[in-house]
Amino acid sequence: MTLDVRLFPCLSDNYGFLIRDADTGRVAAVDAPDPDAILADLEASGWGRLDMILNTHWHPDHTAGNERLKAETGCEIVGPEEVRRAAPLDRVVAGGDVVELGATRFEVTDAPGHTLGHVVYRSQADRAAFVGDVLFALGCGRLFEGTPEQMWTSLQILAAWPDETVVWCAHEYTASNARFALSLDDSAAMQAHAEAIFAARERGQPTVPTTIAVEKRLNPFLRARDVQEFAARRAAKDAFRR
Ligand code: ZN
Ligand code: FE
């Protein structure tokens, strides 16, 4: 079994993802930030079909394309109930469910905090996870709906995944996140990692995906000692302007 992943920038700082189960050729979009960008990448991929959208949460920069992609491709839209606040949804999923894309099995995990119904999708066999706006490279999502306790608990679940898990985050926020991380930790390891990120961004290259191993080592939100320190760091990042 193999999962092919295509990542492409859309809107101002989102990533769109098209994924393909190589055994069966079934194709899904993870979230639907921009239907034009997704249809253009689908054309470029040569994959020839869109079977499914996997929404992570209801925010418009993740669901705006649901209606048009369904109208143009007939795809099934899968996601948490909260998606209905913003866009059409065919099949409701929640933590503990499994979504099959051909031979690829995605386990659904509830990860509230950024929104209350946010879910993440992980294929253990492919060591790949799509985490929406829960975990970013060196960062985490803002607490728009949930409490620090909820987000902290969600991040702990992700941190317990195997180190080699490849984490596909939904936004390119890494340079800003790296400046914040450096304000807390100016060790040689953090400086080297941040320099690599700044250089990649100057070349116009994405810094996504990351891995659980890297994030456990360097992400200031995963490195918080407890929920109080996590909450303080989240508040400090919200006010951080650099
Ligand atoms: Zn969001
Ligand atoms: Fe978002």
Closest ligand to the CA of 59: 1
pTM: 0.98
Q: Which residues contact 78 (CB under 8 A, 6 or more apart)?
A: 52, 53, 54, 55, 89, 90, 91, 93, 99
Q: What is the pLDDT of residues 147-206, one digit of tens each?
A: 999 999 999 999 999 999 999 999 999 999 999 999 999 999 999 999 999 999 999 999
Q: What is the pLDDT of residue 1?
A: 66
pLDDT in the model for residue 155: 98
Distance CA 41, CA 29 (A): 10
- Ion ligand 1: residue ranges with CB closer than 5 A: 59, 133
Q: Residue 137: which CATH number?
A: 3.60.15.10
| Distance in Å, CA 133 to ligand 1 centroid | 5
Cβ neighbours around 214 below 10 Å, total: 16
Q: How far is the CA of 237 from the centre of ligand 2 (A)?
A: 16
Kindly give the distance from the C-alpha atom of residue 187 to the centroid of ligand 1, in angstroms, as a whole number: 31
Ordered per-residue pLDDT tens for the chain, 242 residues: 699 999 999 999 999 999 999 999 999 999 999 999 999 999 999 999 999 999 999 999 999 999 999 999 999 999 999 999 999 999 999 999 999 999 999 999 999 999 999 999 999 999 999 999 999 999 999 999 999 999 999 999 999 999 999 999 999 999 999 999 999 999 999 999 999 999 999 999 999 999 999 999 999 999 999 999 999 999 999 999 87
> If you measure from the C-alpha of residue 229 to the centroid of ligand 1, how many angstroms do you get, rounded to a whole number?
23
Half-sphere exposure of 226 (CA within 13 A, CB side): 1
Domain count, the chain: 1
Cβ atoms within 10 Å, residue 2? 11
CA of residue 33 to ligand 2 center, whole Å: 8
Rounded to whole angstroms, how far apart are CA atoms 170 and 216?
19
Enclosing domain of residue 90: 3-239
Cα(154) to centroid of ligand 1, in Å?
A: 15
